[in-house]
Amino acid sequence: MTLYLFYFLSFVAIFSALLVVFSKNPVYSVLYLIITFFAIAGHYVLLNAQFLAAVHVIVYAGAIMVLFLYVIMLLNLNQESEPHKSNLIKIAAVVCGGLLMTVLIGTLRGASQVVHQPGKDIGLVKNLGKILFTEFLFPFEVSSILLLAAMVGVVMIGKGEDNSVNR
């Protein structure tokens, strides 16, 4: 049963990831990316990492993808008039991606001796929070500074240069 669920989620993830790359309209690309993220969240649930599944749906599907859609609609890019690369470059891109995938699979082949050890539900909020707020407390605080710096930078970039209206 779990295996069939895995196959289904993997199929959905790969299929919609391919559609992200090959669909002409940027809005459709981003919507397919949301489907991919939901499939990956399903994988997280399957791996007994419920906290990360919830955070993944909230952060990616809730925040990042809304940002993407917002920018696409703000820039009015939802027409299909995007210039495309030449066929030679497209073929080269497909070959490069396929070769990289093959190399990755070949490199990581020796992991079959890793077997699942049942026990401790490490994916639950209780256990993960205990580690996050003891062992990883300092990186946690640093990431808040990172988010603040990103926010300040985005405001500075997005403000623009035209200071004709001084206030």
Partner 1 sequence: MNIPIEYYIWLSAILFGIGVLGVLYRRNAIIIFACIELMLNAVNLLMVAFSSYLNDANGQVFVFFIMAVAAAEVAVGLAILVMMYRNTKSVDIDILNRLKG
Among 73, 79, 127, 141, binds partner 1 (CB under 8 A): 127
User: CA torsion, points 7, 8, 9, 11, in degrees to nearest 10?
Assistant: 80
Among 8, 21, 79, 141, binds partner 1 (CB under 8 A): 21
Instruction: Check binding of 88 to partner 1 (CB under 8 A).
Output: no
CA-closest candidate to residue 77, choices 34, 24, 121: 24
Instruction: Check binding of 126 to partner 1 (CB under 8 A).
Output: no
Among 8, 14, 125, 141, binds partner 1 (CB under 8 A): 14
Min dist CB 43 to partner 1, Å, is: 6
Among 8, 73, 79, 139, binds partner 1 (CB under 8 A): 139
Min dist CB 102 to partner 1, Å, is: 8
Instruction: Check binding of 56 to partner 1 (CB under 8 A).
Output: yes
Q: Are 56 and 44 in contact (CB under 8 A)?
A: yes
Instruction: Check binding of 147 to partner 1 (CB under 8 A).
Output: yes
Residue 95 neighbours by CB under 8 Å, 6+ apart: none
CA-closest candidate to residue 48, choices 120, 111, 133, 132: 120
Instruction: Check binding of 38 to partner 1 (CB under 8 A).
Output: no
Instruction: Check binding of 86 to partner 1 (CB under 8 A).
Output: no
Instruction: Check binding of 112 to partner 1 (CB under 8 A).
Output: yes
Instruction: Check binding of 125 to partner 1 (CB under 8 A).
Output: no
Instruction: Check binding of 67 to partner 1 (CB under 8 A).
Output: yes
39 CB neighbour count, 10 Å cutoff = 19
